[in-house]
Amino acid sequence: MIRLNVNDEEIETDAEPDTALLWVLREHLGLTGTKFGCGAGMCGACTVHIDGVPSFSCLTSIDSLEGAKVTTIEGLSPDGDHPLQRAWIAEQVPQCGYCQSGQIMRAAALLEENDSPERAEILDYMSPNLCRCGTYNRIVKAVQRAAREV
């Protein structure tokens, strides 16, 4: 049994120790807001926070998470009303939406580091996360909107 702290809940899982956190979140715990895109840390759809650091859950095995706090999109805010989530809605960012949990999680880490990022800083910081629908410019607007509101 491996113990995990996910969204401030202590969880025990009987998954194999080398199982990717992504599969445990999605298929064992039913936290499907975190998405599978590539399994290789190339698309960022699986981005979660591990002790506040944006991380690829597809490349993180659960045995490395002893004592760590994992935060997923479901745990970012109590009611889905994090300033970034409100900004995402206000700017109508998502199209297919599949990458957006990962985008929001990465953007949340950015705002922790930099409370008024410039366009170029946002684009650089967000570049591990792919969006095939091409919402990047709206993501910039939404991050800046959220930054103003925080």
Partner 1 sequence: MQNPSATPPEALAPLTRRRFLQSASALTFAIGSAGLVTVSRAGASETTQEDAGTEITAWVRIDTDDRVHLVFPSTEMGQGSSTALPLILAEELDADWDKVEIDQLDRDDRSFGNPIFGNILYTAGSTAVYGYFDSLRIAGAQARRILMRAAARSWDVPVAEVTTEPGAVLHEASARRMSFGEIAALPIDDLSVPEVTEADLKPASSFRLIGSDLPRRDIPAKSTGRETYAIDVQVPDMLFAAVLRAPVEGVSAAGIEDSESLAVPGVLRVLTLPEGIAVVAERLEAALAGKDRLQVDWTGATGVLASDSEATLSDYSAALKNPTAERAVWSETGDADRAIAAADRIVEAEYLSDYAYHAQIEPMAAVASVDPDGLGAEVWVGTQTQTWTTRTITETLGTTADRVRLHAMTMGGSFGRRTALQQEYVSDALLISKEMGRPVKLIWTREDDVKNGRLRPAAAQRLRAGLTADGALSGWEHRVATPSVIAYFNALRWEQVRPKDIVSMRGSESQFYGFADMRAEHVLTGRHARLAPWRGIGASYTSFAAEAFMDELALEARSNPIDFRMALLASNPRGQRLLKRVAEMADWSRPRDQTALGVSFAGYGDSMAAGIAEIALERESGIITVQRFWTAVDAGLIVSPDNALAQIEGGIVFGLSSSLKERITISGGEVEQSNYYDYEILRANEVPEIEIHLERSEARPTGIGEVGTPMVAAAVANAFHALTGKRLRHLPFIPDRVQAALA
Shortest gap between Cβ of 115 and partner 1 (angstroms)?
Answer: 19
By CB under 8 A, name the one of 55, 57, 60, 129 that touches partner 1.
129
The residue behind tokens 């993501």 is 139
CB of 76 to partner 1, least distance (A): 8
Token pair, residue 114, equals 């930099």
Find the shortest distance in angstroms from Cβ 91 to partner 1. 9
By CB under 8 A, what part of segment 32-61 binds partner 1?
32-40, 42-43, 45
Cβ-based neighbour number of residue 75 at 10 Å: 18
Does the footprint of partner 1 cover residue 64 (CB under 8 A)?
no
Nearer Cβ to partner 1 (67/78) = 78
Q: Report how far residue 11's alpha carbon sits from residue 16's, in angstroms, rounded to the nearest whole number.
A: 14
For residue 124, state whether it binds partner 1 (rule: CB under 8 A): yes
CA distance 46 to 59: 9
Residues 90-119 that bind partner 1 (CB under 8 A): 92-101, 104
DSSP string, 88-124: HHHTT--SS-TTHHHHHHHHHHHHHH-SS--HHHHHH
Q: How many CB atoms lie within 10 A of CB 99?
A: 24
Shortest distance, position 54 Cβ to partner 1, whole Å = 14
Query: Of 130-149, which residues contact partner 1 (CB under 8 A)?
Result: 130-139
4 membership: H or E segment, kind and range: strand 2-6
The binding site for partner 1 (CB under 8 A) comprises 15-16, 19-20, 23, 26-28, 30-40, 42-43, 45, 72-74, 80, 85, 88-89, 92-101, 104, 122-124, 126-139
